[in-house]
Structures are given as structure tokens and as C-alpha cells.
Amino acid sequence: MSSDALANANHYFQKASSILELGDDVTIQLRTPHREVKTECTIRMDDGSIGTFVGFRVQHDNSRGPFKGGLRYHFEVDEQEVTALAQLMTWKTAVVGVPFGGAKGGITCDTSKLSEGELQRLTRRFVDGIYEVIGEKTDIPAPDMYTNAQVMAWFFDQYTKYRGYAPGVVTGKPVAIGGSLGRAAATGRGCLFACENLLEALGDSLEGKRVVVQGFGNVGSWAARLFAERGATIVGIADISGGYVNPAGIDAEAAIAYVGAHRTLEGFTGGDHVDGDTLLATDCDILVPAALGGVLTKDVAESVRATIIVEGANGPTTPEADEVFERRGVHVIPDIYANAGGVTVSYFEWTQNLQNFYWEEERVNDELRRVMKNAFKELWSTSRSRELSLRMAAYVVGVGRVYEATKLRGV
């Protein structure tokens, strides 16, 4: 994603703003982030040296509710990327109708080179740098790439040292300390519901569909497992070690167990090893990009054989690739809807924290299904009535809702 990320996010926003005829002044108001924090995170490394990292928190918009969005620990994290992702969160929460605004944060670092102790110290130091601008009713972080429930637990613990017990300050926590059942699977499950909703609208179903999942972290691995459970055949998976293809079907559970034991898919024998571009061009019906942004470029888009793309990642498709997909009649289920299952269950976790009343997993999954279904109905009818792609329909719905809230609250 990196440097083009902001340009891409602004591209779609700008188009939506023109369709909604918002005018230049309002467009600038909605696009401009509310607050950007950049903080030095210096820690003692295990070898005794001093390690200095930079952390960011960008709060884009809070007209519909407190700022909300994940924390990403990755070497490509920079101000532009975080700003773009914060904006995407604003439209995403609006598309699924959860009462939050949009934010994103991150630390520029390579987690594969950090020990658990270093990761914990880095997280605590980051909280020290941003605790004044976050809170249960202000801004609620969550996991994103290379952060997980353990990182959220440290985050929560450090925050309580400043402000006392406040589990709703962060979501995606371990269940033992106020996390929600179903949160770990939520983004992958949301991808499944999004895809099933589209298939239903097309008069089709998931049964027997061949699926390729690119990325095998939290989102990709859960998506592979859940799509397989619903009768699809997983014909390709991939992670940092490359792609693995098997037309007869990859055993998602075996792949997940393999990663549990070996950290990556390196050496996995459940499919033929291929490079990343070959994987994306694998013959299949559904492609789920669930890794970094910007992987589906114009050239790659020409070679994709899937007819449905479910954007598990944020920003996996470049605007040029999007045009190729539109021309070729490929259905792209856009990130700001397809991967909104994570923030939706974050919302359920937050409400459970505020009420101190916890739900059964079945209730979480049922409510998620309902939210994804209602959001889809709106996207589908907007896409039909205005003759827009699903992505532009999502932007029009999301931006329209944020505009309405902004107007009602006044300048």
C-alpha cells in the first residue's frame, strides 16, 4: 500500500463526493484528518542497546461516534499509509452502520526481528505517547497487521495505569480480559458473509466454488477455514513464503496447524509451490486478497481468473486494476464492506465492555450476519439504482452518511 495508499483513498472519496455533489468546501472538510499524532517510541533492546521507533495515530473523523481503527506494526508503516487507512475506517464504519468514526495507528518496525519482551515494551511506550488522545469514548484502537490479542492486552494494561480500569479503550483483547467471543474470526467471517450475500443476489451459492486466499494471517486463515466449512474448495493459499496451489483442494485446517507449528507456510506440502503472481492468476471462482495493500495492479488484474474478488485486506486493488475488473465484469466486494466484520465485532466487544455484560458466541455471529446483510442490501440497491460498481456504491453510502452526521452537528 505505502505511498500510493493516500492517493488511492482520496481518488474514490473524490469520486463519491462528486456523485453526491458535496461541493469543494465540504469535500475538503470531510477529507482532512481531525488529528495526527507522531510519537517517538524508545525502548531498551534485549542486547542492551537503545532502539528508537516511530509510532503514529491518525484520527480522521468522529462525526458518527468515537474514532475507531486498528494498530499496524510493519516496516512499511508511515504517515501517509496510516492517514489513508484512517480515512478508510471512517467510510467503513459508516458503510456497516456502527456508531464510530475512523482512525488508524501503527509503529514502523519489523516484528519478525523483535522479541516478545521488546514488542511488549514498544507497545507500552506507544501507549505512553498517545494515552492523552485515546479513551473508551474518544478513540478505540484494535488489532491490524502484525498486532494481535496479546498486543491489545499490553495496550489495555498500560492504559489502565494512567486512567484506571477501562477495558473499552481497546478491542480485540483476549477473551479472559474482556475480549469478545468471535472477535478473532470476525474479519474472515465477515468476508464469508459478504461473499455469500453477493452470491445470493446473483442467484448463486458458495457450494463447490473454487477459492484462492492470498495472505494467511488472521484474516486469510479464518477466511480459508470458514469458506471451506461452507462447501467451497480452497485451491490456493499464500503467505510471505509464496503460494501453494492444489486444484483438488487444500486442507485449510492442516495449513493452519502447519503455520501454528512453523510460523509460516514455508515447506507446506499440501499444494504445489508457486510465486505470488502465479497464485493470483490461478484458475478459481473467488479470490480473497487478505495481505498487504496494492497487490492487485493493472497487469495482475488482467491475469486474474476469478469472477468475484473479496477484499479481506485494506486497499489490495489499485484504481487502475479496479477499472480492469469493471471492464471485465469481475465483481469486486470492496474492503470498506468486505473486511468490516472485524470492526463490527469490535463494536460488539466495546458495547459488552461498557455494559459489563458478555454475549454467547452464537449471538455475536448472528448479529454480525445481520449487520453484513443489511449493509449489503443498501450497497446492492445503491449500485443498481445509480449504476455504480459495488466499490463506488460503498463510498457513496459511507461518505453520504458521514456527510449527513457532519451537517447535523454543524460547523
Segment lying near ligand GLU (by CB under 6 A), choices 62-70, 265-273, 366-374, 394-402: 62-70
Residue 187 CA to residue 311 CA, distance in Å, equals 11
Site string for ligand GLU, 135-154 (x = CB under 6 A): -------x-x----------
Size of the site for ligand GLU (CB under 6 A): 11
Which of 57, 60, 68, 173 touches ligand GLU by CB under 6 A? 68
Edge-to-edge strands, sheet with 102-108: 35-44, 50-61, 102-108, 67-74, 139-143
Of residues 230, 262, 272, the one with CA closest to residue 369: 230
Question: What is the smallest separation between the CB atom of 315 and ligand GLU, expressed in angstroms?
Answer: 10
Asked if 349 and 171 count as a contact pair (C-beta separation under 8 A), the reply is yes
Residue in the shown chain whose Cβ atom is closest to ligand GLU: 70
Characterize 363-396 residue by residue with b for buried, 16 or more Cβ atoms within 10 angstroms of its Cβ, and e for exposed. Answer: ebbebbbebbeebbebbbebbeeeebbbbbbbbb
Of residues 198, 5, 200, the one with CA closest to residue 106: 5
Question: What is the smallest separation between the CB atom of 256 and ligand GLU, expressed in angstroms?
Answer: 20
Question: What is the smallest separation between the CB atom of 74 and ligand GLU, expressed in angstroms?
Answer: 12
In the bound state with ligand GLU, the residue whose beta carbon lies nearer, of 135 and 249, is 135
Segment lying near ligand GLU (by CB under 6 A), choices 31-39, 64-72, 115-123, 200-208: 64-72
Question: What is the smallest separation between the CB atom of 339 and ligand GLU, expressed in angstroms?
Answer: 6
Residue 173 CA to residue 157 CA, distance in Å, equals 11
Which of 199, 343, 371, 396 touches ligand GLU by CB under 6 A? 343
In the bound state with ligand GLU, the residue whose beta carbon lies nearer, of 255 and 340, is 340
Which of 66, 70, 270, 400 touches ligand GLU by CB under 6 A? 70
Determine the 3-state secondary structure of 321 from DSSP.
helix
Under rule CB under 6 A, residue 352 binds ligand GLU: no
CA-based Rg of the chain, rounded to a whole angstrom?
20
Site string for ligand GLU, 153-172 (x = CB under 6 A): ------------------x-
How many angstroms separate the Cα of 16 from the Cα of each of 23, 31, 93, 161? 11, 12, 16, 43
Question: What is the smallest separation between the CB atom of 219 and ligand GLU, expressed in angstroms?
Answer: 9
In the bound state with ligand GLU, the residue whose beta carbon lies nearer, of 139 and 196, is 139
- Start-to-end CA distance of the chain, whole Å, equals 33
Asked if 340 and 91 count as a contact pair (C-beta separation under 8 A), the reply is no
In the bound state with ligand GLU, the residue whose beta carbon lies nearer, of 118 and 144, is 144
Segment lying near ligand GLU (by CB under 6 A), choices 68-76, 225-233, 254-262, 316-324: 68-76
Which of 69, 215, 271, 334 touches ligand GLU by CB under 6 A? 69
Which of 188, 342, 398, 400 touches ligand GLU by CB under 6 A? 342
Under rule CB under 6 A, residue 314 binds ligand GLU: yes
In the bound state with ligand GLU, the residue whose beta carbon lies nearer, of 51 and 69, is 69
Look up 373 and say whether it is catalytic.
no
Listing DSSP states for 333-393 in one string gives E-HHHHTTHHHHHHHHHHHHHHHT----HHHHHHHHHHHHHHHHHHHHHHHHHHT--HHHH
In the bound state with ligand GLU, the residue whose beta carbon lies nearer, of 232 and 292, is 292
In the bound state with ligand GLU, the residue whose beta carbon lies nearer, of 80 and 339, is 339
How distant is the alpha carbon of residue 178 from its chain centre?
A: 21
Beta-bridge mates of residue 211: 234, 286
Which of 68, 104, 173, 209 is catalytic? The answer is: 104
In the bound state with ligand GLU, the residue whose beta carbon lies nearer, of 72 and 331, is 72
Asked if 55 and 130 count as a contact pair (C-beta separation under 8 A), the reply is yes
Question: What is the smallest separation between the CB atom of 376 and ligand GLU, expressed in angstroms?
Answer: 17
Contacts of 250 (CB under 8 A, 6+ apart): 224, 234, 235, 236, 237, 244, 270, 271
Binding site residues, ligand GLU, CB under 6 A: 68-70, 142, 144, 171, 314, 339, 342-343, 346
Residues assigned a catalytic role = 104
